[in-house]
Amino acid sequence: MAAIELNNLRVRKNGTTICAIDQLSVVAGSRLGIVGENGSGKSTLLRVLAGLEVGIEGTCRIAVPQIDRVYVHQQPLLFRGSVVSNVMYGLRARGIAGAECRRRARQWMERTGVWRLAESPSRQLSGGERKRTALARALAIEPKLLLLDEPLADLDDDGTGRVLEVLEELSGTTVVITSPTSPPDRLVTDRVVLNAAMSPS
């Protein structure tokens, strides 16, 4: 079953095509790597899949409700306050509170290696810690479609290992990952390369 089907997709800004996909099908539960240089349309494609782009041309069918999609930016935005309050944000927005909210937050913070920072102010985090906190926040709400913009950038060896392990073990979640270079084999099950002309090669 396909979670994503794109045909003749075009995104244009000020008359310029910034993303073009002739055909793309993503199987539910798979992990797809989108590889390409800067300007090839990788981040724009993630925005399309997240439902954040308007006025697109072509066909874009996504068999996942928008509420079950999460887009983690390359430089994720964290709210003011503690790390744990950031990770609990999405859970609280969905009506999960109290001990269950904290339990779920802790589960993913431990898996991504940021539980030791639970009470630290988010503004004091390094780039890699911010990225792992944002990933824990995304995973805590158990999305069906997880969109990750360069998830391994800014991570040290420990952080990279933890993120790879977590993503590798996800089940029931379709993951789309962008990267300027080919992701590790263990991270993705399929790859698509976008060239400078914004079309798959």
Confidence of residue 15 (pLDDT cuts 50, 70, 90): confident
The residues, ordered by sequence, that sit 6+ positions from 104 with a Cβ below 8 Å of its Cβ are 91, 96, 140
DSSP 96: -
Confidence of residue 196 (pLDDT cuts 50, 70, 90): low
Kindly report the average pLDDT of the chain as a whole number.
93
| pLDDT (tens digit per residue) in 113-171 | 999 999 999 999 999 999 999 999 999 999 999 999 999 999 999 999 999 999 999 98
Packing angle between helix 157-168 and helix 127-140, nearest 10 degrees?
Answer: 20
Whole-number percent of the chain with pLDDT over 70: 97
d(Cα 153, Cα 127) in Å, to the nearest integer? 9
Whether the full predicted model's pTM is greater than 0.85, yes or no, is: yes
